[in-house]
Structure 1
């Protein structure tokens, strides 16, 4: 576990808003440090594994993959980790999420062009050993950056206005 300070938190928030178009100087202006500090901190956050990568947001429908399906599955807890790797190898699977519960403990998001893709993906998941509890066609997915890195006001020095110090 790495202890993050307000500078790290501010950098992470700014990167989540738009990592591709934010310059080190723009981030520095927001978090009140130098651009070189921002670049060094980003490198440290990457080295520490906090920043795992930078990923494009894809409009699958415009990319001619109009079907987005969410499969809710159950997998034996002792086999889940191995199954995740196998599921990620199935063409069309774009996201796998594990939960801590024993039932309905895996969510698999997949994309495809037609129902044949849906059948192929669900057959592959059955072959891996997953039990599909339900599947839903997704209409829309919206993601927002985590904006609660600052557990206190980042501009509050911790002193009341009437205190000196």
Structure 2
């Protein structure tokens, strides 16, 4: 995929969407970046079509949703198998996020949710059977995000 040239308006739109895509209207974004609402809609459509905007995701409190175990598995995989294994990990029950790292021994971070230690043990075994070496598992207590400042208008 080729790179998309983003101007100041595009970056301002991205900043607003990162800040709160669900509760920010097209009209509010237009006012913030000083263009018409139709321009904002067209720009968002273009950035979605070109792959700059890949999707919109809810932030879920898994503990409130009755999944009290939110765990990050730090794994290693051979570099020539990493991408294939990452795709397979997404099929495992309970896996919600997989991050591939380009370098280092611990080159896959797999985020999972589970209801109890039995679920977690089964998931650990499934990941091992897929070919991952689980180096550590860390309980996630909180996750915070913020818009990238380079997009601020």
TM-score, normalisation: structure 1 = 0.89
Partner of 2:119: 117
Q: Say whether the 8 Å CA contact 1:70–1:136 is kept in structure 2.
A: yes
Partner of 2:64: 62
Point out where structure 1 has 5 or more consecutive residues left out of the alignment: 155-165
User: Which of 112, 129, 133 lines up with 1:127 in the alignment?
Assistant: 129
User: Which of 123, 126, 148 lines up with 1:146 in the alignment?
Assistant: 148
Q: Give the Cα separation in 2 of the matches to 1:55 and 1:80.
A: 25
Q: Give the Cα separation in 1 of the matches to 2:64 and 2:80.
A: 38
List aligned pairs for 1:70-81, cutoff 5 A: 70-81=72-83
Runs of 4 or more consecutive aligned structure 1 residues displaced over 4 Å after TM superposition: none
TM-score, normalisation: structure 2 = 0.95
List aligned pairs for 1:149-160, cutoff 5 A: 149-150=151-152, 154=153
SS at match of 2:151: coil
Q: Say whether the 8 Å CA contact 1:24–1:35 is kept in structure 2.
A: yes
Does 2:50 match 1:48?
A: yes
Q: Say whether the 8 Å CA contact 1:60–1:111 is kept in structure 2.
A: yes
Superposed CA offset, 1:30-50 (max 9, x none): 000000100000000001100
**Larger relative contact order (C-alpha < 8 A, sep ≥ 6)?**
2
Superposed CA offset, 1:46-72 (max 9, x none): 011001111111110000001011110
